[in-house]
Amino acid sequence: MADRVHNGTLTANDVTTVGITRHAGKLSVTNRSDSGTIWVRLDGEDPQVEDEDCFPVLALQTAHFDTAVPAINAAQIKLISDESLDYTVAGTAN
């Protein structure tokens, strides 16, 4: 069960920042749309579509991140896509 869950819809080519209000040990990003890719950054930088420094989340897939990795900023998850896609970001305690 997630300590913090945020659902939303991305606007094409606009960066969306999701803040986790409580410290989360693990994060997941789910692309709830049946097409398209969501690009994710966890280091505070703005993502770009198909950028090498972004994690892709394919249609109907979930990507899991362990925020114990020092390079990851658990407070800000930044998302982008080149189309409008539904997503869920969830954080759970350690």
* Per-residue pLDDT reduced to its tens digit, 14-30: 999 988 766 557 788 99
The answer on pLDDT for 91 being more than 90 is no
pTM: 0.86
Delineate the domains of the chain, giving CATH numbers in brackets: 4-92 (2.60.120.10)
To 5 degrees, how large is the angle CA 5–CA 93–CA 28? 45
pLDDT tens digits, residue range 4-61?
788 999 999 999 998 876 655 778 899 999 999 999 998 889 999 999 999 999 999 9
Contact between 6 and 70 under an 8 Å Cβ cutoff? The reply is: no
pLDDT of residue 34: 97
The two tokens of residue 68 are 């114990």
pLDDT at position 26 is 79
Tell me how far apart the alpha carbons of residues 32 and 8 are, in angstroms, rounded to a whole number. 10
Confidence of residue 68 (pLDDT cuts 50, 70, 90): low
